[in-house]
């Protein structure tokens, strides 16, 4: 039975192309037919071309989408797999690579485990975005894995927004923007804006105002059934722009309204490492934990066999201290 795998990479980066040239022979040797989304590289490497015009039908029979690159390339690949059941597998060739599962030096082992079906599939929630523009009856629809960000259209002006939660008004203020993020996106733009880090299994949404000119403009976390709405008010001095996952832009004239809900179809990721998310945070952000004496470390130390103390040599009777009547002469203390 033929096993197909689609490889997505950044064709404009030298390191990514080198990684691809190494990856294709490894995948073929493991029994995979390789598809490439980059037509020039597909011709060079003699692989099947992937048709982007109809991504869902082109993914029929594809077991996995492997991404060679950083988080930006993974977000690009997510546009291909969104709405399908095909999982993503990221190999980090970037800097942080928070969404990636493997590093380049571990690639041969990763291929072996994928070929053996030695991985689990993890689902990550997404956002469904509805953009209501003045003069249009139907909303523009978009989605996001990390975040949907409303930003000011002009650098020198603030944008005036009104915030709603579940159809109820909450606050209004001038700001540089508003980030609405998933738990996955809490370590991306929302993190830079001062929002909290949410563990990926937290079924919630996050809203973080950016440089708000207000007394109450704190990050908000709501449950999966709640929804956010942000309006660019008529008194705003600047138009806005909505940016989904840093990739797709929609202009927001004054009077626009953006509604964000929990997406109906999660995105799927192939995972090799079942280590806790805490370990990923420590690794990706190089957090200072060396020398940390927490409960886990104490348990591990207690489980180690204790070294037996060395016995002291016994002194012979002739070497024992002798009590002297002269108190000014002190005998050495006996070892007890």
Active site amino acids: 71
| Closest CA relative to residue 262, chosen from 168, 181, 179 | 181
Distance CA 330, CA 100 (A): 71
List the alpha helices (DSSP H) in the chain.
14-29, 39-45, 55-58, 71-81, 107-115, 189-192, 277-285, 295-303
Find tokens 């991985």 and name the residue.
Answer: 119
Q: What are phi and psi of 73, to 5 degrees?
A: -70, -35
Radius of gyration over alpha carbons of the chain, in Å? 29
Q: Is 2 exposed, middle or buried (0-12, 13-18, 19+ CB in 10 A)?
A: exposed
* CA-based nearest residue to 150, from 66, 217, 210: 210
Q: Would you say 232 and 160 are in contact if contact means Cβ atoms under 8 Å apart?
A: yes
Residue 247 CA neighbour count, 13 Å, CB half: 16
Q: Which of 211, 199, 141 lies closest to 175 in space, CA to CA?
A: 211
Report the C-alpha gap between 40 and 21 in whole angstroms. 13
């Amino acid at each position: 039975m033929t096993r197909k795998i689609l490889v997505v990479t950044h064709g404009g980066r030298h390191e990514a192309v080198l990684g691809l040239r190494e990856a294709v022979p490894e995948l073929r040797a493991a029994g995979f037919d390789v598809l490439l989304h980059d037509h020039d590289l597909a011709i060079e490497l003699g692989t099947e071309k992937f048709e982007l015009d109809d991504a869902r039908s082109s993914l029929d029979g594809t077991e996995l989408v492997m991404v060679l690159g950083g988080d930006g390339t993974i977000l690009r690949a997510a546009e291909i797999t969104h709405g399908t059941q095909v999982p993503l597998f990221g190999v980090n060739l970037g800097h942080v690579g928070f969404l990636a599962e493997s590093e380049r030096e571990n690639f041969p082992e990763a291929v072996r485990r994928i070929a053996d079906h030695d991985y689990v599939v993890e689902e990550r929630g997404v956002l469904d975005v509805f953009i209501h523009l003045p003069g249009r009856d139907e909303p523009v629809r978009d989605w996001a894995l990390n975040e949907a960000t409303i930003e000011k259209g002009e650098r020198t002006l603030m944008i005036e927004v009104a915030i709603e939660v579940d159809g109820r008004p909450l606050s209004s203020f001038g700001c540089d923007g508003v980030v609405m993020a998933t738990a996955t996106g809490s370590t991306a733009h929302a993190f830079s804006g001062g929002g909290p880090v949410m563990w990926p299994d937290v079924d919630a949404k996050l809203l973080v105002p950016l440089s708000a000119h207000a007394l109450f403009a704190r990050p908000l976390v709501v449950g999966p059934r709640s929804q956010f709405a942000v309006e660019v008010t008529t008194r705003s001095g600047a138009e806005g722009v909505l940016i989904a996952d840093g990739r797709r832009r929609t202009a927001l004239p004054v009077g626009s309204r953006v509604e964000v809900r929990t997406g109906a179809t999660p995105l799927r990721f192939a995972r090799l490492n079942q280590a806790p998310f805490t370990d990923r945070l420590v690794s990706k952000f190089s957090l200072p934990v060396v020398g940390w004496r927490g409960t886990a470390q104490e348990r591990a130390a207690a489980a180690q066999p204790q070294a037996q103390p060395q016995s002291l040599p016994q002194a012979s009777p002739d070497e024992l201290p002798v009590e002297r009547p002269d108190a000014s002469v002190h005998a050495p203390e006996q070892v007890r």
